[in-house]
Structure 1
């Protein structure tokens, strides 16, 4: 298993390189002059040239990328064109908020998705099942920004129960976390329901019931474990949605996180900030995908056996067994 983890960690390197090449290329050839955006419309040609020369923007595209990678490998993500801050300092300030938002959203997805999916499967074709299937379909179809605006209108403007901006307390976190998690648990619960329905129709479930086992024991110990694989997959996909959706949510609720930083940098074509933010998010998503794969092995012994070396039997013992 250790070799597998090391192998997967090494696979993150080409992923990050591919993401960096794609983003750097798009930013380099996108319209807009970063020097003009940084210095303003009144800057002279000499000032623009000096700005580009100091930051290597006058070099050919391949040289610019190679120089950036050399610095990034040493931990230097560069300096913001606009604020003159080090990217590493900006990330340290904003990353905790993004992690709190995304990880809390993922936790809420797990807490709601699995029990709701099980309940829908157990109560198949009842009023509860039919009603919740319609509700989850509607919630899964809602864009995050629209759901956030509706929540703000109801709980902040009309009822005045929750603050509409910020991320400093539990009350501030409620609406952003709901926006971050709603799509994940709404769509994931339907997948969990379908997976549970497939499992509980198997012969071994019928046998467990025929033995007189309590229905809760049958569902928890026999059905759930075998139905978790698609559920884990959907949770892994939801992780990417949480990190990606943080860009919209942080902008909507004025949360000082990575998403808001990226949006502001895109407006000003602040290349070092965009590159640093995208690379950090790509690494986080790659690590969560690794955790998802490890969860597969924890749930299914067949998958775990592929990565665990079989114990060597001594030669004499093997001969005796023969």
Structure 2
């Protein structure tokens, strides 16, 4: 299968996934209690005022008409207007997207480096006290909620030690704690996958042959064994990066980080349905994009793997 055919099929699958996601999100929001028109009008508004606002927002139309109007607007670059700020949704989301991507990239960078290094060390010391200790650390990292990790980091480094800012953005130091917190879960997952995959590869014949040739242990591990063990690890890293885009909602709220996650959380409380729909659609798009890039990376890491 050629790369263009592969990408074409993946794009079709991605469009279908996003279409299903849009239907699901729109349907769920219709079941959420509360009236966006009442949120805009205020608690003391009269029924006539609320009716006028519902008409302005298009909420007086049948649900299926509202859905297809929204979908048609997306294809035209019109993602709707925020119920709260009265501004177009798409420019607001794009202005916040960079901060969320920065946080997710920093988090997965920390998680990948630390997780792979710990996983390699655990595999090379399999069934020892060091391996057990690292496995316990990984289990704690996987089990701990990311918002709890964020609060602990704030308590330790901001309140107790006073060396890093607790909230906000603008400098490199503002990024450190959110990146550590959002990557905390992923470190344990990546470490466990690296350990199990590397242990399986180390038992194969080509590794014993490389050692018999007199190659240095570092060359055997990092050039031969780890490269072959990295296929499932790449999958996990890609999935975790997409997960961090969604998990940013909690971390951005804890650290008051001005990204899409914080915007999504605020929009939920304000019943800003157009903003919620747009934010979830963008997060879903990155899930689809990352999964496609991971599949493309397989053939680059291991030439034996073809796109078919």
Per-residue deviation, 1:76:
0.4
Structure 1 residue aligned with 2:73: 71
Structure 1 residue aligned with 2:192: 190
Which 10-residue stretch deviates more, 24-33 or 247-256? 24-33
User: Aligned residues, how many?
Assistant: 306
Residues 97 and 167 in structure 1, CA contact (< 8 A), matched pair in contact too? no
Residues 139 and 183 in structure 1, CA contact (< 8 A), matched pair in contact too? yes
Between structure 1 and structure 2, the one with the greater Rg is 1
Structure 1 residue aligned with 2:43: 41
Structure 1 residue aligned with 2:166: 164
Query: Where in structure 1 are there 5+ consecutive unaligned residues?
Result: 308-322
What TM-score comes out, normalization by structure 1 length? 0.92
**Residues 142-169 of structure 1, C-alpha deviations (whole Å, 9 max, x = no match):** 1111111111111111111111001211
Structure 1 residue aligned with 2:134: 132
Q: Distance in 1 between the 2:49 and 2:14 partners?
A: 40
Secondary structure of the structure 2 residue equivalent to 1:302:
coil
Secondary structure of the structure 1 residue equivalent to 2:284:
helix
Structure 2 residue aligned with 1:200: 202
Per-residue deviation, 1:47:
1.3
**Residues 11-53 of structure 1, C-alpha deviations (whole Å, 9 max, x = no match):** 2211111111001011112211110011111111111111111
User: Which of the numbers 10, 13, 17 marks the counterpart of 1:11?
Assistant: 13
Per-residue deviation, 1:240:
2.6
Runs of 4+ in 1 over 6 A off after TM superposition: none
What TM-score comes out, normalization by structure 2 length? 0.96
Structure 1 residue aligned with 2:301: 299
Per-residue deviation, 1:278:
0.6
Query: Where in structure 2 are there 5+ consecutive unaligned residues?
Result: none
Backbone CA RMSD of aligned residues: 1.3
Q: Distance in 1 between the 2:36 and 2:57 partners?
A: 11
Per-residue deviation, 1:127:
3.2
Q: Distance in 2 between the 1:76 and 1:178 partners?
A: 36
Q: Distance in 2 between the 1:181 and 1:274 partners?
A: 24
